[in-house]
């Protein structure tokens, strides 16, 4: 689904030591985890972005605009992603029953299988990553990270030059 784009991870410090910089640590972890997920989902022929859109669409009767808000993609990327999913027979856009102007994204049976298979892959990767932590620390880590992203890190700061989200596309 599209051409692979190589994006470099945040470089380690020149002295080779792991920094205590929270931004660097989170960025590095996100990059490595995303590349592992991208590589693993390639066997299904879907990207993490496509898998995320399919999984969100399975949660109910959602329009493209709903999915843009739910998944955090821009409108253009959502259209491209849905075009790819339709071409692969994994999703369809259908007229909404409640609003003739809107189109609802419906996941096909093949798309539902991809989501289930992708969720199994994601769970294997998640378990593998968390195995690096002692068992007692795993739940604490996830809980603390969840608290950060639902509270203090729940929204980006307003800034003159917004930070672009760079994500590998598969």
Comparing CA positions, the residue from 7, 36, 28 lying closest to residue 126 is 36
β-partners of residue 93 are 105
Task: Give per-residue pLDDT as tens, 56-93.
Answer: 999 888 999 999 999 988 999 999 999 999 999 999 99
Distance of CA 109 to the CA centre of its chain: 21
What is the crossing angle of helices 75-87 and 48-57, to 10°?
90
Q: pLDDT tens for residues 89-101?
A: 999 999 988 888 8
pLDDT single digits (tens) 137-151: 999 999 999 999 999
Structural domains of the chain, ranges and CATH numbers in brackets: 22-150 (1.10.10.10)
């Amino acid at each position: 689904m599209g051409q692979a784009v190589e994006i470099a991870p945040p470089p380690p410090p020149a002295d080779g030591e792991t920094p205590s910089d929270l931004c660097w640590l989170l960025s590095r972890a996100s990059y490595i985890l995303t590349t592992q997920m991208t590589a693993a989902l390639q066997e299904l022929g879907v990207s993490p972005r496509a898998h995320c859109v399919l999984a969100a669409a399975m949660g109910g009767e959602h329009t493209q605009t709903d999915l843009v808000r739910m998944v955090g993609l821009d409108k253009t990327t959502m259209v491209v992603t849905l075009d790819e999913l339709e071409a692969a027979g994994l999703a369809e856009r259908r007229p909404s029953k409640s609003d003739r102007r809107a189109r609802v994204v419906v996941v096909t049976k093949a798309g539902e299988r991809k989501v289930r298979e992708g969720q199994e892959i994601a769970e294997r990767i998640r378990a593998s990553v968390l195995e690096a932590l002692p068992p007692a620390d795993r739940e604490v880590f996830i809980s603390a990270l969840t608290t950060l992203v639902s509270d203090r890190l729940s929204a980006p700061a307003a800034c003159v030059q917004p930070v672009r989200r760079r994500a590998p596309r598969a």
